[in-house]
Structure 1
């Protein structure tokens, strides 16, 4: 892979599909995608911007055939609706530790790189409610 960020739906889906392919080819442990904060074109995935607020940004990990993500209760409801549109996907595990505010969800996703990329983009758009032109970064492959 030579690029690691994208801002349009077509570019993001291509980036995510390329990241899934690179992850599978390399046999890496996982790949991680992060969304830039809303209204923040100068997002630094390394966290070097001292002026940036400390609010955690949405992320999505993929390993083997499983997506992993953290959600609030409202986001979890939206995730369940989204997964219903992908018959080859299913929520396998939900974990809500008492010390955490939210739920970690694991979604089994047996599909090709393009379908996985479409799902990943829709997670950010529909579950995390990002604008159509949100910027995403592949921060680990």
Structure 2
């Protein structure tokens, strides 16, 4: 893997698939994908969204509205399922864990759709693989 960011759907999915492959090859603890903070979408005080993948599980933090969008997206990925949802009293959202046993390209497509469908990013958003 030689590049770490992409800003078109085709290039992002290729980047994400390469990151999944690198993660699996290296047996790294996890891989993390991040996007830039967008105050118009995320709100002024909220952090930028991220998606982490490890042990065939996606991990992400979502608001109540984003959780509903994630559940809707999962209907298009029937091989994925919600494994755990935690909503600590001191947190404003839910930590969502999704079991995802699939090939790198299918996982990459899911990550891309999470950022557009769940986190409300435009089709030309830029994503970074922050950790592999």
Q: Is the contact made by 2:38 and 2:48 (CA closer than 8 Å) also made in structure 1?
A: no
Say whether 1:136 aligns with 2:127: yes
Distance 2:37 2:8 in 1: 15
Structure 2 counterparts to residues 1-141 of structure 1, below 5 A: 1-38=1-38, 55-141=46-132
* Structure ranking higher in helix proportion: 2
Q: Hey, which bits of structure 1, 4+ residues long, moved more than 4 A? A: none
Tell me how large the CA RMSD over aligned residues is: 1.2
- 1:50 match: none
Computing the radius of gyration from Cα coordinates, the structure with the larger value is 1
CA distance in structure 2 between the partners assigned to 1:19 and 1:27 by the alignment: 12
Gaps of 5+ in 1: 40-52
| Aligned residue in 2 for 1:43 | none
Gaps of 5+ in 2: none
TM-score, normalization by structure 2: 0.94
Contact 1:19 1:138 (8 Å CA) reproduced = yes
Under a length normalisation based on structure 1, what TM-score does the superposition of the two structures give?
A: 0.88
